[in-house]
Amino acid sequence: MKARHPILSALLALLLTAAPLTPVFAADLQPPQQAIESASAQLQSQMQDKNFTKDFAKINEFVNQVIYPHVDFDHIAALVLGKLWKTATVEERNRFKQEFQTLLIRTYSRAFIDFKEWSVRFLPMEMEPGATKVVVKTEVLQPGIQPIAIDYRMALHEGEWKAYDIMIEGVSLVTNYRSTFNSEIQTKGSLNAVIDSLAKRNIEALAAKPQNKS
């Protein structure tokens, strides 16, 4: 992954905050695209409030409320652990899901403060009648750099389209985290040790004050 947009910063700064541009207009968006676009108005409006971005606790809570309905965190957590998910206890699964969701939300919340000038355009997509899985293709536009390709893997879950993986220029969030956590498990010796470490990092990160660049 190129240094100019590491997977966490790019993904979480742009996740579910798309402003539809040509060649696809808002009225032409299909349901999976609409699921992404629906969160944009709320998040975009809050980005204009400098006082709001000074309170990280409020940002974190707000971001969680906005994007939670559009992301299948349970599915992502299971995919990230891969084979380990099958051998993990119920308690381990629940702890990992909670801490991993906290990781994604708080990292996105930090990026929410930093990234100001960008927009996202939806690319045309073909969707078969009755499809339950699709890939929503987008391009992120930022001044002075080439467009960044970000694709959302989405599935229909209980009547709602939800993202379960995001690919930035072909690099998968799920694959990236799976590799990271597998390496940590080999180093620390157990899944519980990795969860404990993640929980500690989450507590420390949530306690830190955001660096507002505005």
Q: What is the mean pLDDT of each run of 10 residues along the chain (214 residues)?
A: 41 48 62 80 68 75 84 94 94 96 84 66 88 91 83 92 91 92 93 96 80 48
Report the b/e string of 28-53 with b at 16+ CB within 10 A: ebbebbebbbbbbeebeebeeeeeeb
Q: What is the pLDDT of residue 150?
A: 87
| Model pLDDT, residue 211 | 55
Say what the pLDDT of residue 26 is. 58
Domains and CATH numbers, the chain: 7-207 (3.10.450.710)
Burial class, 159, CB count within 10 angstroms (exposed 0-12 / middle 13-18 / buried 19+): exposed
pLDDT number for residue 13: 44
Is 122:33 a contact under the CB 8 Å cutoff?
yes
pLDDT of residue 53: 66
